[in-house]
Structure 1
Amino acid sequence: MTYQATSIPSALQIIQADLDAGTVIHLWLKSCRPGLMADLRVAVEDIELASVVTTRTDEFEFRELELSQGGKAVLSFNPLEASVSVIYAFHPLTVRDEGIFILHQASRNAPPILTDGYHFRPPFGWMNDPNGFGRFGGQVHLFYQHYPHSLRWNTMHWGHAISKDYIRWKHLPVFLFPSDELSQRDDGRGGAFSGSAIPGIGTGESIRVFFTEQVRDRKPEEQIQLSALSHDGISAQAPSVIVPKRPEGLDLTLDFRDPYVFEGPDGNWKMLLGSRDKAGGVVLLYETLDPKGAGGWTFVGTLHREDRYGMTAAECPCILPLGERKNPETRWALVFGLLTSRDPKTGRRNLTSITVGRFDGRTFEREAEQELDFGSDAYAFQAFVDDGGPVGIAWLANWTDVSKKEDFATAMTLPRRILWDGCSVLTPPVESVTSLRHLQIDEAGLLATGERVTLLSGAVEIELDLVMPGTPFELVFEHPDIDLGVRLDTEGLEILFGDRNAKASPRYLATGARPSTVRVFLDAGSIEVFADNGRWVGTKRLPSVSPVTSVRLAAPRGAISGARVWQLKLLI
């Protein structure tokens, strides 16, 4: 497919594309003012095939069209009468190879224009939690919390993309939509909240998803659990309710969300749900004997709780075997976020915990605990067991930065392995990130000598080898809008961050860290630090997508045994 769009002020806006027969078009439009009919017309080879009309003014109305013939397609509307958010096209037979084709999007929901950005971003609109992360039909699927019509959180949909290597993604059609009731207005009352996915029964493309439906002020339950089946891995059937209410007798708040479904050590499907009571965050366990996971879910009990930070909500729980799933000696890693938590030592908010222990399918025996990310901007972490072991991904942001009044460009973290070394959980980046190394710069070794090194587009990886564990150093980055650096000293490993236009920032510190190797990934709007193969990981969203322009290393003479810098580029 090819397309071009032209616009004439105060007249029709014309979108032209060469489309095949059987092409499906998804579009959202609304009327510019009450009492006015918005009309978008679709013609192919000068034959009008459809006229899409709406009088809705509060929120964009979704429509789907399938072209009965191919050729030169013309979509037209009057921008003084119709407001059009997004139009994209795809062919069901080729969308897995080609992805969707964006024919039109408004300026308010357009992503930032980046030269060499390599983190996953939505093709339009807002994104937060990763959902349904898993491998189905031979490809990795990533669903995510999505609002198509602006760069701010609102009524939740599920976006969708697929990959073969966790790094290069094809954008697919929007997968889940909010209910008709919630779709009428842009007031953010709820929608298809976070969840997970398992293989469906049948074809290799079949997927069953689980999610929370949120409807604010609904009585008696604002949040209930639903499931939907997709036979083709592209679109979902109508969902059904599988858990209609909270378990009784636990004095839980209305927080009851984010179903994570996985196969337990006994071979049965299990489900984790996040909640809270008056003491703190609670992770709940359900199970079913249904091999499809479609129903029969019963409450087992409270799997884990976290009371140290007060009345925080446990969100987005997931659990992974760190070895053979059926082996009773295998440790399991339970990961969950703590909404509204605050670290009193550093001021960081919304922390994410990894608790390691033994899991027999019904009870979890805690043995050790650590923090997922000392930068705190790897939230809503979700993982699954792939052929090479567990792998996960997180939202590269933190709710403390989100504003209802300002746009917010969103991204996911680099995907990460989840490993167990017998003492700690390691979360290094997946191996395929090395394929991003487009060009090695600083071959003269200027960085190791303390000289300033220019970073071109700012999309780079820096790798340092220290002569001794914990050897002090500081990387100082030059950025037009913020103060940024990475420092290792007697306190530990720290991301140095200062927003020149905001109040004082928390400290992003891994206390006591004494690594021997450090990898730093810089991209538009983010920094990720991996030390000692992911034993310590720090992720920080940057409030500007302007690139880091240079780096300088300060370290004692002879402290650095190796310093390498690569220019990164996402080559498809």
Structure 2
Amino acid sequence: MDQQAVERIKAHEERVEQANAFLKQKVDELEEDSYRLSYHLMPPAGWMNDPNGLIFYKDEYHAFYQHYPYEAKWGPMHWGHAKSKDLVNWEHLPVALAPSEVYDTGENSGHGCWSGSAVDDNGHLTLIYTGHVDGRTPVEVQCLATSTDGLNFRKEAGNPVIAGAPEEGGLGFRDPKVWRHAGAWYMVVGFGKDGLGKVQLYTSENLREWRHLGVAAESDGTMGDMWECPDLFPLGSGDDYVLVISPMNMGTTKTMYLTGKLNYETGQFSYGYKERLDYGFDFYAPQTFMDGQGRRILQGWINIWGAKMPEQERGWMGAFTLPRELKLNADGTLRMEPVAELQALRGAHQRVNGLSIGADTEVTLAGVHGDTLELIAVFDVAKAGGAAEFGLLLRCSEDGTEYTKVVYSAAERKLSVDRTRSGAGEAGVSEAPLTPMADGRVRLHLFLDRSSVELFANDGVKTVTNRIYPAAASLGIKLFAEKGEAHLESLDAWVLG
């Protein structure tokens, strides 16, 4: 190894050590607060955004993420790192990547080791990421870093492995997602041009020399002008594939999925179905991986760009969603359900059966309260009044002025989460179309974790993910009905540890 290569390795190691030393000091200073999540993965301190490099490696789950350790705001991107044996309990590991090279380091904050993925290359945990430097030409390139111990990573001497976008005039060229098929490696990279989001497809025999196959898929003109964080993967027992994207400049729609077929010979992904992936405000940049049980698991960033983020004032920002298992229905629609391992969090249990809720009334659930709860509420829509709107009020204050409203409209067949009175964060109403299940019921499965609400409706046919920032003392749970009577068939509630 020549002296220049040795110096480059040393420079990266020094920057990683500096970040880890700062984090250790900062964590010791960070006080417990009512916004800090209890059972979600979040940074030990500083800033977190996109999930990166989600992988099941040597019988453990590894999660990397976009991270700025020095402040609770976006800055030069590092890769944070954590691992778990059960998807529930996470151990923070040293920072994996730090900006150190000409292709990922600049003079302003617009640089760093941007998003990417991870693969197991003959036992070597290999990270593939975008090197980004504002003002450099090209701005974005694709890079490689490897580890033999799953802890310490060395950037490839031959970086970048893809030295720029395949065509000029594009909007972005980032977020490589890599997978293996029939003995070869494949990669999709987010791109955009002429107002259309696209994914570029590449193939390689060794992860270091890549051949461009073309545009695998692009927007029909209605799905944003750049597709960030693309993830293309098989799902189900047949040859069905799913493409998950985070389209830019598409209004309230921040994530989508498309289902169809991938032709490896032509490099074309032909999609026949498209839909919004999650209907909440705070769900972005999801990434999936296959675990040792053959499950396709997804996690996303439970925040969104441009929103008010009250936790920043407390020295940290960002978290991952709960891990979700993906399942594909015969009609091409996708379901997301919380992984079964989360049931290990369940503590004290309360159950309510067969409760009628009069029109324009609220029912306080005296035995159900807290800021870390799992709730499963089943309503019989057939027994509700024709115009009835009903559901739950979460994190209610004693004086009734603060709450988050989860409501189902029987007439409009619409599910909503209203944050108008949720506390210090952003307001707004999330809405999702929802048809009752075949038995005429609506099943609402909710996870509350201090400053987050994740809602899985009708076994994950629709999900709604939001951050909320209520006062610490707002712990009540209520049922309600408006414009008609409602019938609660059952409600199960667990305190989560």
TM-score class normalised by the smaller sequence:
0.7 to 0.9
| 1:200 CA drift (Å) | 2.3
Q: Which of 292, 313, 320 lines up with 1:412 in the alignment?
A: 320
| 1:182 CA drift (Å) | 9.5
1:218 aligns to what? 136
In the alignment of these two chains, the number of paired residues is 456
Q: Distance in 2 between matches of 1:400 and 1:116?
A: 21
Q: Which of 33, 44, 61 lines up with 1:140 in the alignment?
A: 61
The 1:317–1:448 alpha-carbon spacing in structure 2 relative to 1, beyond 3 Å, is: farther
1:252 aligns to what? 170
1:530 aligns to what? 456
| 1:196 CA drift (Å) | 0.1
The 1:502–1:159 alpha-carbon spacing in structure 2 relative to 1, beyond 3 Å, is: closer
Q: Distance in 1 between matches of 2:139 and 2:32?
A: 32
Whether the 8 Å contact between 1:416 and 1:429 is mirrored in structure 2 is: yes
Q: Which of 228, 236, 250 lines up with 2:145 in the alignment?
A: 228
1:428 is paired with a residue whose SS is strand
Q: Distance in 2 between matches of 1:374 and 1:337?
A: 13
The alignment status of 1:173 with 2:94, answered yes or no, reads yes
Backbone CA RMSD of aligned residues: 3.1
Q: Which of 233, 242, 251 lines up with 1:320 in the alignment?
A: 233
1:300 aligns to what? 213
2:404 aligns to what? 484
1:48 aligns to what? none
Q: Distance in 2 between matches of 1:425 and 1:200?
A: 30
Q: Distance in 2 between matches of 1:479 and 1:149?
A: 35
Whether the 8 Å contact between 1:333 and 1:356 is mirrored in structure 2 is: yes
The 1:383–1:547 alpha-carbon spacing in structure 2 relative to 1, beyond 3 Å, is: farther
Cα-to-partner distance string for 1:139-172 (whole Å, 9 max, x where unaligned) = 0000000000111111100000001111110100
Equivalent positions of 1:256-405 (< 5 A) are: 256-264=173-181, 266-290=182-206, 293=207, 295-309=208-222, 312-324=225-237, 329-342=238-251, 348=252, 350-361=253-264, 362-386=267-291, 387-401=293-307
1:241 aligns to what? 160
| 1:245 CA drift (Å) | 1.0
Q: Which of 417, 431, 436 lines up with 1:495 in the alignment?
A: 417
Structure 2 counterpart of 1:214, one-letter code: H
Q: Distance in 2 between matches of 1:500 and 1:419?
A: 32
For structure 2, the 5+ residue unaligned runs are 1-13
Q: Distance in 2 between matches of 1:547 and 1:415?
A: 28
The 1:470–1:261 alpha-carbon spacing in structure 2 relative to 1, beyond 3 Å, is: farther
Q: Distance in 2 between matches of 1:459 and 1:405?
A: 17
Q: Distance in 1 between matches of 2:471 and 2:76?
A: 25
2:330 aligns to what? 422
The 1:546–1:258 alpha-carbon spacing in structure 2 relative to 1, beyond 3 Å, is: farther
The alignment status of 1:540 with 2:466, answered yes or no, reads yes
Structure 2 counterpart of 1:395, one-letter code: W
1:452 is paired with a residue whose SS is strand
Q: Which has the higher contact order (CA 8 A, sep 6+)?
A: 2
| 1:312 CA drift (Å) | 2.6
Q: Distance in 1 between matches of 2:391 and 2:240?
A: 36
Farther-moved stretch of structure 1 (536-545 vs 166-175): 536-545
| 1:341 CA drift (Å) | 1.6
The alignment status of 1:208 with 2:126, answered yes or no, reads yes
2:150 is paired with a residue whose SS is coil
Percent identity of paired positions between Structure 1 and Structure 2: 28
| 1:227 CA drift (Å) | 0.6
The 1:247–1:323 alpha-carbon spacing in structure 2 relative to 1, beyond 3 Å, is: same
The 1:180–1:117 alpha-carbon spacing in structure 2 relative to 1, beyond 3 Å, is: same
2:97 is paired with a residue whose SS is coil
Q: Distance in 2 between matches of 1:121 and 1:470?
A: 42
Q: Distance in 1 between matches of 2:126 and 2:97?
A: 12
Q: Distance in 1 between matches of 2:72 and 2:107?
A: 13
Q: Distance in 1 between matches of 2:424 and 2:107?
A: 29
The 1:557–1:404 alpha-carbon spacing in structure 2 relative to 1, beyond 3 Å, is: closer
Higher helix share: 2
The 1:547–1:201 alpha-carbon spacing in structure 2 relative to 1, beyond 3 Å, is: farther
1:550 aligns to what? 476
The 1:433–1:243 alpha-carbon spacing in structure 2 relative to 1, beyond 3 Å, is: same
Q: Distance in 1 between matches of 2:383 and 2:184?
A: 45
Q: Distance in 2 between matches of 1:137 and 1:260?
A: 20
Cα-to-partner distance string for 1:19-50 (whole Å, 9 max, x where unaligned) = xxxxxxxxxxxxxxxxxxxxxxxxxxxxxxxx
TM-score by length of 2: 0.83
The 1:63–1:399 alpha-carbon spacing in structure 2 relative to 1, beyond 3 Å, is: closer
Q: Distance in 2 between matches of 1:262 and 1:545?
A: 44
Q: Distance in 1 between matches of 2:340 and 2:485?
A: 32
Whether the 8 Å contact between 2:79 and 2:96 is mirrored in structure 1 is: yes
Q: Distance in 1 between matches of 2:424 and 2:371?
A: 23
Q: Distance in 1 between matches of 2:20 and 2:55?
A: 30
Equivalent positions of 1:61-76 (< 5 A) are: 62=15, 64=17
Structure 1 counterpart of 2:283, one-letter code: A
Q: Which of 74, 79, 94 lines up with 1:158 in the alignment?
A: 79
Q: Distance in 2 between matches of 1:113 and 1:172?
A: 24
Whether the 8 Å contact between 1:284 and 1:302 is mirrored in structure 2 is: yes
Equivalent positions of 1:440-479 (< 5 A) are: 440-441=349-350, 443=351, 451-453=363-365, 455-468=368-381, 472-479=389-396
Q: Distance in 2 between matches of 1:318 and 1:389?
A: 15
Q: Distance in 1 between matches of 2:346 and 2:154?
A: 41
Cα-to-partner distance string for 1:330-385 (whole Å, 9 max, x where unaligned) = 2111001012221xxxxx2x521110001122211111112110114221000012
The alignment status of 1:562 with 2:482, answered yes or no, reads no
Whether the 8 Å contact between 1:319 and 1:333 is mirrored in structure 2 is: yes
Structure 1 counterpart of 2:121, one-letter code: G
Cα-to-partner distance string for 1:287-337 (whole Å, 9 max, x where unaligned) = 1123xx2x121111111112544753210010221124xxxx421110010
Whether the 8 Å contact between 1:466 and 1:562 is mirrored in structure 2 is: yes
2:344 is paired with a residue whose SS is helix
The alignment status of 1:511 with 2:433, answered yes or no, reads yes
1:477 is paired with a residue whose SS is strand
Q: Distance in 1 between matches of 2:226 and 2:214?
A: 17
Structure 1 counterpart of 2:74, one-letter code: W
Q: Distance in 1 between matches of 2:205 and 2:58?
A: 24
1:534 is paired with a residue whose SS is coil
The 1:118–1:504 alpha-carbon spacing in structure 2 relative to 1, beyond 3 Å, is: closer
Structure 2 counterpart of 1:212, one-letter code: T
1:50 aligns to what? none
Equivalent positions of 1:66-145 (< 5 A) are: 86-87=21-22, 102=24, 104-105=26-27, 112=33, 117-145=38-66
